[in-house]
Homo-oligomer: A and B are copies of this chain.
Amino acid sequence: MAVTIQDVARAAGVSASTVSRALSSPEMVRPETRMRVRAVAESLGYRPNPAARGLITGRTTNLGVIVPDLTNPFFPSMLRGLQARAREAGHAVFLADCEEDGAAEAALVHAMAKQVDGVILCSSRMTPAMLEKVLGLVPMVFLNRVVPGHPSVIMDGAGGMRQTIDHLAALGHRHIAYLNGPRDSWSNRERAKGLRRAERHRIKVSRFGPFAPRFESGLQAADLVLASGATAVIAYNDVMALGVLARLAERGVPVPGRISVAGFDNITFAAMATPALTTVDLGGERAGRAAVDTLLAVLADRDADAPRQVLDSALIVRASTGPAPDAGPDRPNPGGTQGEA
């Protein structure tokens, strides 16, 4: 049915080895023969069978990717960068969605192991014990999680948080709220670490949660934040922040007049909300590309020690954050903030 290397060999009057060489090691075959073979291969529509090739070379030119939840809009942007870079490098991408389940994730690694040259684990949900069992199976790089001794590319959530706090401090806020994400989320811990920056500005921080990173959590949290007296709220991610925004709009609370709102991830809809949402862009596409590059580097030199790459994040200031309500529009040095602007 499908055309094999033998068919090409017969049609070109050479051996299979010559066909193989004409296509993958062109310098090893006489130009004249090479041309003829290539022409025949082309005309027959021959494509090497990757499975057979992989069997002998031990390489598949496939990359595996596992994400925890495709419907979280943060991942598609990451995937896009990842996918594009992989294609540039001549690799196809195997994608699986583990649906936030670490055990499923481990099973997927097993399933993929033999069909890919390496796998990229995005925000892996595996416990250390689960990790232990799959670590040797196939080269892996971790995206958005550090696993000692293994290559990772991480996005600087803590740094993003610090930028956000500096931004709010400059706007005169003295009391802010943070809405925690899921309890055992690595990214949430990272982001929360950045909260320490508030001390430097003598800003009071009220923490709420943990919350599931969903729109509804934002609705719920908005009322809590309002009652707390904070004049700004930073949500674990944009989806929650949008929930906060929606609830505040419903209650007629002016944003950023009475309260400023910020999120994380810079998802597409952050820019589309009214008011447009101030958010931290963690550089998802860039991270996706970096993960592929890292994996390729590991593949090329397995003995190199595990690189850990940290990507800068950037605060995207939009309309949802503004001066603190008690800080008058242009009053210099309000309260005790030492004019950190």
Query: When the two chains form their complex, are residues B62 and A71 in contact, meaning their CB atoms are under 8 A apart?
Result: no
A 200-229 contacts with B by CB, 8 A: 215
Please report whether the interface of chain A is mostly helix, strand, loop or mixed according to DSSP: helix
With A80-B70, A96-B93, A114-B50 in contact, is A243–B272 under 8 Å at CB?
yes
Binds B, one of A51-59, A167-175, A304-312: A51-59
Query: When the two chains form their complex, are residues B92 and A115 in contact, meaning their CB atoms are under 8 A apart?
Result: yes
Contact of A55 among B51, B62, B76, B83 (CB under 8 A): B51
With A70-B83, A115-B62 in contact, is A94–B92 under 8 Å at CB?
yes
With A71-B268, A94-B93 in contact, is A51–B83 under 8 Å at CB?
no
Query: When the two chains form their complex, are residues B114 and A51 in contact, meaning their CB atoms are under 8 A apart?
Result: yes
Binds B, one of A13-21, A105-113, A145-153, A191-199: A105-113
Least CB distance, A320 to chain B, in whole angstroms:
13
A76 neighbours in B (Cβ, 8 Å): 70-71, 73, 75-76
Flag whether A77 is at the interface (Cβ < 8 A).
yes
Least CB distance, A49 to chain B, in whole angstroms:
5
Question: How many residues in A have their beta carbons less than 8 Å from beta carbons of B?
Answer: 45
Contact of A95 among B52, B54, B93, B274 (CB under 8 A): B93
Q: Which residue of B is nearest A271, CB measured?
A: B215
- Which residues of A line the B interface, CB within 8 A? 2, 47, 49-52, 54-55, 60, 62, 70-71, 73, 75-77, 79-80, 83-84, 87, 92-97, 99, 110-115, 215, 242-243, 246, 249-250, 268-269, 271-272, 274
Besides A52-B55, A94-B95, 17 other A-B contacts (C-beta < 8 A): A47-B110, A49-B114, A51-B51, A70-B80, A71-B76, A71-B77, A71-B80, A73-B76, A83-B95, A84-B99, A92-B96, A93-B95, A215-B268, A242-B272, A243-B272, A246-B272, A269-B272
